[in-house]
Structure 1
Amino acid sequence: MRKAESVLFRLSAGWTVVGLASGLAYRELTRSTGFSGFTQLAVVHTHTLVLGTIVGLLVLALQRVYRLGEDRRFGWFVWIWTIGLVLTAGAMAVKGSLQVLGSAAADSSALAGVSGLGHVVLTVGFVLVFLVLGRRIRHTQQESDTETATTQAMPA
C-alpha cells in the first residue's frame, strides 16, 4: 500500500512543520508582548509534534508491518485523525494567542467547544486505528499459521 505510506509520510512531515512553526510563533509572540504566564499557545508545539509527527510515524511503521491500508477503515482513520488534530491544535492556538494578547475572548466557551470537539474526533480516530490494527494483526497471524501448516505438510 504505497499510497497509504505516502499520505502518512506527508502528513507527518506537515505536522512537523506546523509543530516547529507553532513553537517559533509562541516564542516570538510572548517575547514581543512581554507575556510571562501560562498560555495554551505553549502546548500547541508539543501537541502537534506528538499527535501529528510521532503518531503519524508510528502508524506509518505499523502500516509497513501490518499493511493497515488494506482495511477500508484505515483511510477513515487518517482523515478523522487529521481533522481532530486540526480542530484541537487550531482552537488551542487561537485561545493561546488571545491569552497572550490579553483578550477576554480567550475565555470563550465556543473555543472550548471546538477544542472539545477536536478531542472527541481524535478519540474516534484512536478507536478506528485500534480496530484496524486488531483486525490486521489477526489476519497476519492467520496468514502465518497457514504458511506454517503448508510448509510442514510438504514432503522433504
Structure 2
Amino acid sequence: MRKLARTSLVYMIVGLVFGVYYREFTKFTDFTGETQLSVLHTHTLVLGMVFFLVVLLLEKNFGLSRQKHFNKFYLFFNLGLVVTLGMLLLHGTLTVLGYPDSAAISGIAGIGHILLTIGLGFFFNSLLKSLPQT
C-alpha cells in the first residue's frame, strides 16, 4: 500500500511542478495561444495522484495486489502515463516556442494512450476478480 501512496505523492509533486512550468513558461515567452501545457497539470493530478489514491482505497478494501495481473496494471499504466505526459510536455513546449506540430509526437502520444488502455484493462481484471462473488 505504501507503494501506491508514494506513487500518488510523486504524481502530485510532478503535477504541481507542471502547473508552475505552464504558468511561468507562457508568461516568460509572452505566449497567449492554446497549448497542451494547459491540460498537463490536471492530467497529471487526476490520472496520477487521484487515480492512485482511489487504487489505494480499493487495495485496502479488496486486496487488489493479490491478483496476478495487478503488477501488469501498475507497470503498463505508469509507463503509459509517463509517455503521455512527456508528449504533452514536449508538444506544449514546442507550441509555445512556435514549432509546427509533429506527427512523431502524435504517434508516440498514441502509444502512451495504448499503454494506458492496456493498464486499465489489467486494472479492471484485478478489480473484478478481487470483488466478492454475489
The two structures have a TM-score, normalised by structure 2, of 0.97
SS of 2:115's partner is: helix
Question: 1:16 and 2:12 equivalent?
Answer: yes
Equivalent in the alignment of 1:45: 41
| Pairing 1:1-150 to 2, within 5 Å after superposition | 5-104=1-100, 107-137=101-131, 140-141=132-133
- Cα offset, 1:76, TM superposition: 1.0
Measured against aligned partners, the alpha-carbon deviations of 1:86-140 in whole angstroms (never above 9, x if no partner) come to 0000001000000011123xx1111001111111111111111111110100xx3
Measured against aligned partners, the alpha-carbon deviations of 1:51-71 in whole angstroms (never above 9, x if no partner) come to 000100000100000000111
- Cα offset, 1:141, TM superposition: 3.9
Measured against aligned partners, the alpha-carbon deviations of 1:63-82 in whole angstroms (never above 9, x if no partner) come to 00000011121011111110
The two structures have a TM-score, normalised by structure 1, of 0.83
In structure 1, C-alpha distance between the alignment counterparts of 2:23 and 2:94, rounded to whole Å: 15
SS of 1:38's partner is: coil
Q: Could you say which structure has the higher helix fraction? A: 1
Structure 2 unaligned regions, length at least 5:
none
> Number of residues paired by the alignment?
134
Flag the structure with larger Rg.
1
Specify the code of the residue in structure 2 equivalent to 1:125. Answer: G
Measured against aligned partners, the alpha-carbon deviations of 1:16-38 in whole angstroms (never above 9, x if no partner) come to 01100000000000000000011
Question: Percent of aligned positions with the same letter in both sequences?
Answer: 42
Structure 1 unaligned regions, length at least 5:
143-156
SS of 1:126's partner is: helix
RMSD: 1.0
User: Larger relative CO (CA 8 A, sep 6+): 1 or 2?
Assistant: 2
- Cα offset, 1:7, TM superposition: 1.1
